[in-house]
Amino acid sequence: MTDETAPLRPEARSPRGFIDRRARDLVAERQILTAVSAVYERYGFEALDTGAFEYADALGKFLPDADRPNEGVFALQDDDEQWMALRYDLTAPLARFAAQNWETLPKPFRRYAFGPVWRNEKPGPGRFREFTQCDADTVGSARPEADAEIIAMAAEGLAAAGLPAGSAVIRINNRKLLNGLLATAGVSDERQKLGVLRAVDKLDRLGPDGVRLLLGEGRKDESGAFTKGAGLNAAVAEAVLAFTAAGGGDRAGVLARLADIIGGSAEGDAGLAELAAIDGALKSLGVAEDQAVFDPAVVRGLEYYTGAVFEAELLLETTDEKGQPVRFGSIGGGGRYDDLVARFTGQPVPATGFSFGVSRLAAALRAAGRDLAAETRGPVVVIVFSQDDMAHYFAAAAELRAVGLAAEVYLGSSGMKAQMKYADRRRAPAAVILGGDEIAAGTVTIKDLDLGRELAAGISDNSQWREQRPGQINCPRSELVATVAKIVRGV
Residues 410-449 that bind its own copies (CB under 8 A): 410-413, 422, 425-426
Q: Which residues pair with 440 in a beta bridge?
A: none
* Among 481, 425, 413, CA closest to 453: 425
How far is residue 260 CA from its own chain's centroid? Answer: 37
Closest contact distance (angstroms) between CB of 15 and its own copies is: 5
Q: What's the one-letter identity of residue 222?
A: E
Tell me how far, at minimum, the Cβ of 383 lies from its own copies, in Å.
Answer: 13
From 146, 155, 358, 444, residue interacting with its own copies (rule: CB under 8 A): 146
* Binders in 280-309 for its own copies, by CB under 8 A: 280-281, 283-286
Q: From the CB of residue 360, how many other CB atoms can be counted at a distance below 10 Å?
A: 19
Fill in the DSSP letter of residue 88: S
* Segment interacting with its own copies (CB under 8 A) among 133-141, 200-208, 250-258, 309-317: 133-141
Quote the CA–CA distance of 118 and 18 in Å, as a whole number: 10
The Cα–Cα gap between 152 and 158 comes to: 10
Task: Tell me which residues in 214-253 interact with its own copies (CB under 8 A).
Answer: none
Q: Which of 108, 332, 333, 335 binds its own copies (CB under 8 A)?
A: 108
Name the β-bridge partners of 325: 319
| Using rule CB under 8 A, residue 123 touches its own copies | no
Q: Which residue type, as a one-letter code, is found at position 482?
A: A
Whose Cβ is closer to its own copies: residue 213's or residue 395's?
A: 395
> Would you give the binding string for its own copies spanning residues 177-206, x where CB under 8 A is met?
------------------------------
| Cα–Cα distance, 455 to 302 (Å, whole number) | 57
Distance in Å, CB of 347 to its own copies, minimum: 11
Angle, helix 175-184 to helix 251-262, in steps of 10 degrees: 20
* 31, 61, 66, 75: residue in contact with its own copies (rule CB under 8 A): 75
- What's the min distance (Å) between Cβ of 396 and its own copies? 10
Under 8 Å CB-to-CB from 116, ≥6 apart: which residues? 52, 130, 131, 132, 133
| Binding residues for its own copies restricted to 80-99, rule: CB under 8 A | 80, 82, 84, 86, 96-97, 99
With binding defined as CB under 8 A, does residue 143 bind its own copies? yes
Q: Please state the closest distance from residue 471 (CB atom) to its own copies, in A.
A: 21
Q: Is 370 in the site for its own copies (CB under 8 A)?
A: no
Enumerate the H helices of 356-427 as residue ranges: 358-367, 390-402, 416-425
How many whole angstroms separate alpha carbon 87 and alpha carbon 50?
10
- The window from 107-115, 191-199, 244-252, 325-333 that contacts its own copies (CB under 8 A) reads 107-115
Contact segment (CB under 8 A) with its own copies among 52-60, 243-251, 362-370, 460-468 equals: 52-60
What is the C-alpha separation between 349 and 35, in angstroms, rounded?
A: 30
Report residue 203 CA to chain centroid gap: 24
